[in-house]
Amino acid sequence: MALMGFMERMLEHPIIYEISQAPLVKAKFAVIERHLRGQDVRKVLDVGCGPGINATRFAGAEYVGIDVNERYISFARAKYPGHFVQADLQTADLSSLGTFDTILVNSLLHHVPDDAVRRILQQLRHLLEPDGTIHILELLRPERRSLVGFMAIVDRGRYARRAAEWRDLFEEHFETLSLEPHVFKAGLWGLVYFRGKRKIPRIPQ
C-alpha cells in the first residue's frame, strides 16, 4: 500500500505522468481515432485531459481540456495549444463553455464511485450537441481472475468495472453506438471503449 501511495503522488506531477503514459497513448487512442476518421470534428471537450497529451491530435478543431489537477492544467497551458480549464466535473457548472460535437473521456471515471459517474455523465449529456458523439475509454475489470484483473486492481483508479456495469452507467444518459471491450499492451491492460450520442428523455404520454 505504501508503494501504491508513493506512485500515486509521483503521477500527480505532470512530467512524470506524461512520461508514464507515452508508451500507452498510441495504443489506447487507436480505437477512438478509428471512429473519428472522416468525421468533421469542430469543437472538442477532453474531460480529464491530464497535462494536455491529446491536444495536438485535434489541431484543426477548437479544443477545450478540463482536469481537476491544477498542476496538470498549468503544464498543459504552457506546452499545448487549446483552452484548458481547472475544474471538478462533480461540482463545477460548465454550461458557459457551450456545446461540443465531440466529447472525449479518457480514463477518468474509474477514479470515482457510481454516483459521481452519474453526475459527470449528466452534465456531459447537456454539453454534447444533438448530433455529436461522446467517446469514453475506461479501465475494465474482467469477469474472471487474470493478469488483466490484477493490473486493474493496482491501477490508481479504485473503480474499475465490468463491461456490463459500464454499459449500464453510460446508457443512463447516452444511446450506445458501439461498446468494445479490448485488451492491449501484451495482454496487460483491459479497457472498454464506448461511443454514444445524447439520449433524449422520453416525454410521458
pTM of the complete model: 0.81
Rounded mean pLDDT for each run of 10 residues along the chain, 205 residues in total: 40 46 65 88 95 90 95 93 93 94 94 94 96 94 50 56 94 96 62 92 63
What is the rounded distance in angstroms from the CA atom of residue 45 to the CA atom of residue 55? 10
How far is it, in rounded angstroms, from Cα 151 to Cα 65?
27
**Torsion 9-10-14-19 (CA) sign:** negative
How high is the pLDDT of residue 203? Answer: 62
Give the burial class of 184: count Cβ atoms within 10 A of its Cβ; 0-12 exposed, 13-18 middle, 19 or more buried. middle
Domain segments of the chain as ranges: 2-198
The pLDDT value given to residue 96: 94
Tell me if 165 sits within 8 A of 9, measured CB to CB: no
C-alpha cell of residue 142 = 474482467
pLDDT at 184: 57
Regarding the domain with residue range 2-198, which homologous superfamily does it belong to in the CATH classification? Answer: Vaccinia Virus protein VP39 (3.40.50.150)
CA atoms within 13 A on the CB side of 30: 11
Interatomic CA distance for residues 178 and 136, integer angstroms: 11
Q: Which residues contact 171 (CB under 8 A, 6 or more apart)?
A: 196, 199
What's the pLDDT score for residue 186? 43
